[in-house]
Amino acid sequence: MQYNEEIDSVKCLECGNNIKYGRSDKKFCCEGCKNKFNNRRKSVMIRLQSRVIHSLDKNYQILDKLLRSGADSVMLPDALQWGFNPEYMTSCTRSRMRTIYRCYDIKYCKSDTRLFNISRIPSAPVADKRSQ
């Protein structure tokens, strides 16, 4: 890397001040600006992840409550009113003529008006290493 005594055209990504010394590819004027920039960027990702996890957990609670009450379908407007967000699921697969959605260990199908075929996915048996 080339070192310059004065770099007038390069500005700190955090505070916008000119970087007057250091490497030619330097991005921050000091460690404080570098830390502030990276902490802010990381906090945005953490907030986004928290929102997604909260939405998945809310969907799971609603689906789990329906299963515990013995229901395997619900009108979509009712689920939306309870806080269900159809934009969030852990996976979706196309099977025959339907799309099957999953929220952790619960699967369901969705139409324009209903959530239906709500059921828990049976867990696969865990092989005992001692018996092999």
pLDDT of residue 4: 46
Burial (Cβ within 10 Å: 0-12, 13-18, ≥19) of residue 118: buried
pLDDT band at 5 (very low <50, low <70, confident <90, very high): very low
DSSP 21: S
Distance CA 89, CA 105 (A): 11
Q: Considering the entire predicted model, what is its pTM? A: 0.66
Residue 127 above 70 pLDDT?
A: no
Higher pLDDT, 3 or 18: 18
Residues 76-102: pLDDT tens digits?
999 999 999 999 999 999 987 899 999
Mean pLDDT of 108-113: 94
Whether 72 shows a pLDDT value over 60: the answer reads yes
Interval 102-126 mean pLDDT: 90
**What pLDDT does residue 44 have?**
86
pLDDT per position as a tens digit, 8-66: 578 999 999 998 888 888 999 999 999 999 998 899 889 999 999 999 999 999 999 99
Q: Which residues contact 122 (CB under 8 A, 6 or more apart)?
A: none
- Written as six digits, the tokens of 30 are 């000091």
